[in-house]
Amino acid sequence: MLDVKDILVEAARAVEEAGLSTDLRQAGFEKAVDLIATKHGIVATVGAPPAPSPPVATPGSGTPAETGPLLDRVAERLKVDRETVTETYHERDGAFEIVVPASKLDSDKAPAAKQLTLLVAAARQGSGTEEWTHIDNIRRVAEDFGRYEPANFASAVRATQGCQFRTENRKILVRLSRPGWESATALVKKLAGIEP
């Protein structure tokens, strides 16, 4: 089992490898500590707990899934059972978390951004939370998973097959089309270990 020193060293290495700007290093380090500790079954919180936010998917905490009506709607929209959905999403206080390990996502940032676009849009749109998903919601999740590449992120999102796009106040909005829902379903099944 890792001790505190091991977690801090691994988190510092992750921040260094991510090449975060100076203003993001502290937040990145805190998040890395949480993610590394959680990955090894240790509950960790560095700094003050985050303020409540609108439903945004984030890497999972490894805690048991809390169920709610939003997950039921997502499962119904994806045409999979609730158990399959809870392998990818948890719902807590009306907000979603993506709970798959980052290692299950593509290691390259552009393909991972496309996967996260599908997952975030499917959760938010499948639950009925919104019809169009703002790119900032996808970006926050990509940052949390270490798959955010500022120079190419918007292009990667726009290259996601099965999505419709519109621009509002110079920000990209995403909506899943029928092929997008099929891709999201296939991805959720794959992440749950269900072969197509």
> pLDDT per residue over 8-19, tens digit each?
778 788 878 888
> pLDDT per residue over 134-169, tens digit each?
999 999 999 999 999 999 999 999 999 999 999 988
> pLDDT per residue over 66-113, tens digit each?
445 888 999 999 999 999 999 999 988 778 889 999 999 999 999 999
C-beta of residue 94 within 8 angstroms of C-beta of residue 140: no
CA distance 29 to 27: 5
Residue type, 22: T
pTM: 0.66
Q: Where are the domains positioned within the chain? A: 4-39, 69-191
Q: What whole-number percentage of the chain has pLDDT above 90?
A: 55
CA distance 111 to 127: 24
More confident residue, 148 or 53: 148
130 backbone dihedrals φ, ψ, rounded to 5°: -160, 165
Overall CATH class of domain 69-191 = mainly alpha
Tokens 């749109």, residue located? 125
Residue 44 has pLDDT above 90, yes or no: no
Residue 54 has pLDDT above 70, yes or no: no
96 backbone dihedrals φ, ψ, rounded to 5°: -95, 150
- Which range scores top for mean pLDDT: 32-41, 95-104, 183-192? 183-192
